[in-house]
Structure 1
């Protein structure tokens, strides 16, 4: 009689135990991969990614479990710290901080208030080190100071104001020049963005156009956006936009108000997420595959010829799963949406979920057999 109960327990655990990794750069432009098969990795700088030697294991104590639905990671360039949101299903409102210099983790208590961690998009402003997030039609902020390790004083998400967008708007946010660029806004034409000026807390009344050289425009559809950092630690000037259909990679320059159309991702995954450094745009797909597109700011001909390639040394350390079950998460000090039009339940690297499911099955099957007898 107990057999169905035991079997249902197996399916419960195998369905719910899963990994939700993210990728990020530190300020030395090492690519860090967190939550891959229960471990964290340093793939090094871009010139080492093609190596067949495995990335370095940087797993240490006090790390988050990376088991929540949509983990997002952000680089604080001034602090050389990575902030991980939604990295712990048991502590959803807390933010884990990785000090990339000390290579240590700490957990910062945060009062979420009315902020919804299951439905938001966010950027981490470069100069102020303040998170700005759009959730359920309201713009929230969270001041991180210059934290590179947690302190004992809880931080607070503040509900700053209501945004001038319809209630059904699923945000796509990008950061450049201390301005938040909102894409895919109703009644805003293709190739344009609404702009929020952070330092003045002000929505510009008119959208800004960013045309391509031939006069065409990036589409007004949902997608992912992430900002390119500057090596000299100044504000970002460009951001990448990848439509959900992965039809192209668009690089928007807010200094020249122009757009470049570059190679589409080789893996066309609507649940993939992206993180940009200085000279590379990194893609993390829903099965844990990590690829990158080389990029040189201002070098139009080189960028036009660039193609996507695998981060081989990371694949050697944490091979991607052959099965995709949901959206992976990872984001720059650009943006991330935790509620896309398609499902974003994280499943990369799904190998972790399968591993735990099989382990529980191995333990429970003999019990089920005995009870059946």
Structure 2
């Protein structure tokens, strides 16, 4: 689906993926990630019979291919992940370990299996349910136990290490976004890395937009539908919610225009809501960066850093994740994929 301007109004172009050309999406907690500059979508847990494979949809060719992987100690049934903008590398937290999977510039699978590489231990306890967001080649972890409201832990992707101290992102009045579980989604850029991400607490009370360039936060309207199981994705100019019934709404957003953003309201997208399977509902988990299960174990020790830690080689080109990836179960078979593609392969504008 694409959302674009038509005589000053938002118009919706819906692109459906018929069952004949897509994977079954019958895996536990299927997740979809947009590689913006490769015009492709990556799908994990898209097939219950092959849960470790990465399915690649080439939007230009309208074709699917299956990339085999070697998992090692990575557990494809229990992880949270982001897709890094510059490197086109997945970073995942699985059972207390940080892993990466380098997809290079793939939009068609190759014949060589790709490995999940173990970077090292995370510093988080077993009870932590990750809330992960990507900006400036850093992974931001929110709602970390012991970290104050308004702060985020930061994992530096290019050096594969956690910064020793959290970063604060205060609101203009000195208040802070809450230390609570929620969903996070990075806003796209026309080029270069993301600078902002949205955080929506599970109670839907507000939408917080964190800017990592200015180290500040905006508080915007919370979604009309308060749904802890909702999923979110951001483009350049909008934040989109897919709720657990299959209904879709969006919040228009203009980077750098605080006064306009403060007046913005969530709007239902009827054209999309109409195609959701009747009576469907999502059983995805509440994790922020993927719909997968939260890691079941963790460690207090830090990850390997710098030269001693594992880190991928930077790839040519760039890709972009849909913020906090989209997930679905068989009740919304393929629908999350539509929403992933909606934020457009090639970008969504309002």
In the TM superposition, what whole-angstrom CA distance separates every residue of 1:274-303 from its partner, at most 9, and x where no partner exists?
A: 111100111111111111111110111111
Correspondent of 1:349 among 325, 328, 332: 332
Is the contact made by 2:3 and 2:10 (CA closer than 8 Å) also made in structure 1? no
Is the contact made by 1:273 and 1:283 (CA closer than 8 Å) also made in structure 2? yes
After TM superposition, give the deviation of residue 350 of structure 1 in Å: 7.9
Indicate the residue corresponding to 1:327 in structure 2: 284
Q: Does 1:121 align with 2:80?
A: yes
- Relative to structure 1, the CA distance from residue 351 to residue 61 in structure 2 (aligned partners, 3 Å threshold; closer, same or farther) is closer
- Relative to structure 1, the CA distance from residue 114 to residue 208 in structure 2 (aligned partners, 3 Å threshold; closer, same or farther) is same
Is the contact made by 1:223 and 1:242 (CA closer than 8 Å) also made in structure 2? yes
In the TM superposition, what whole-angstrom CA distance separates every residue of 1:141-185 from its partner, at most 9, and x where no partner exists?
A: 000011011111111111110011112211111100000111111
Indicate the residue corresponding to 2:317 in structure 1: none
Q: Does 1:268 align with 2:226?
A: yes
Indicate the residue corresponding to 2:92 in structure 1: 133
Correspondent of 1:247 among 205, 209, 215: 205
Is the contact made by 1:330 and 1:336 (CA closer than 8 Å) also made in structure 2? yes
Structure 2: unaligned runs, 5 residues or longer: 296-326, 336-350
Correspondent of 2:255 among 280, 297, 302: 297
Please say which of residues 147-156 and 322-331 is displaced more in the overlay.
322-331
SS at match of 1:65: coil
- Relative to structure 1, the CA distance from residue 96 to residue 347 in structure 2 (aligned partners, 3 Å threshold; closer, same or farther) is closer
SS at match of 1:274: strand
Structure 1: unaligned runs, 5 residues or longer: 1-42, 353-373
- Relative to structure 1, the CA distance from residue 261 to residue 58 in structure 2 (aligned partners, 3 Å threshold; closer, same or farther) is same
SS at match of 1:47: strand
Is the contact made by 1:115 and 1:140 (CA closer than 8 Å) also made in structure 2? yes
In the TM superposition, what whole-angstrom CA distance separates every residue of 1:168-227 from its partner, at most 9, and x where no partner exists?
A: 211111100000111111111000000111111121111000001111111111111111
Q: Which has the larger radius of gyration?
A: 1
Is the contact made by 1:122 and 1:337 (CA closer than 8 Å) also made in structure 2? no
Indicate the residue corresponding to 2:301 in structure 1: none
Correspondent of 2:56 among 65, 84, 97: 97
- Relative to structure 1, the CA distance from residue 312 to residue 50 in structure 2 (aligned partners, 3 Å threshold; closer, same or farther) is farther
Q: TM-score, normalised by structure 1?
A: 0.75
Indicate the residue corresponding to 2:16 in structure 1: 57
Correspondent of 2:40 among 81, 97, 101: 81
SS at match of 1:150: coil
SS at match of 1:78: helix
- Relative to structure 1, the CA distance from residue 112 to residue 247 in structure 2 (aligned partners, 3 Å threshold; closer, same or farther) is same
Correspondent of 1:336 among 284, 290, 294: 290
Determine the C-alpha separation between the residues in 2 that align with 1:323 and 1:58: 18
SS at match of 2:260: helix
SS at match of 1:301: helix
Indicate the residue corresponding to 1:256 in structure 2: 214
After TM superposition, give the deviation of residue 59 of structure 1 in Å: 2.6
Superposed counterparts of 1:169-188, under 5 Å = 169-188=128-147
Q: Does 1:152 align with 2:106?
A: no
Is the contact made by 1:321 and 1:351 (CA closer than 8 Å) also made in structure 2? no
Is the contact made by 2:26 and 2:333 (CA closer than 8 Å) also made in structure 1? no
SS at match of 1:313: helix
Determine the C-alpha separation between the residues in 2 that align with 1:180 and 1:57: 31
CA RMSD in angstroms, aligned pairs only? 2.5
Determine the C-alpha separation between the residues in 2 that align with 1:319 and 1:165: 37
Determine the C-alpha separation between the residues in 1 that align with 2:43 and 2:87: 18
SS at match of 2:37: coil
Is the contact made by 1:328 and 1:346 (CA closer than 8 Å) also made in structure 2? no
Determine the C-alpha separation between the residues in 2 that align with 1:237 and 1:140: 23
SS at match of 1:303: helix
SS at match of 1:57: coil
- Relative to structure 1, the CA distance from residue 300 to residue 348 in structure 2 (aligned partners, 3 Å threshold; closer, same or farther) is farther
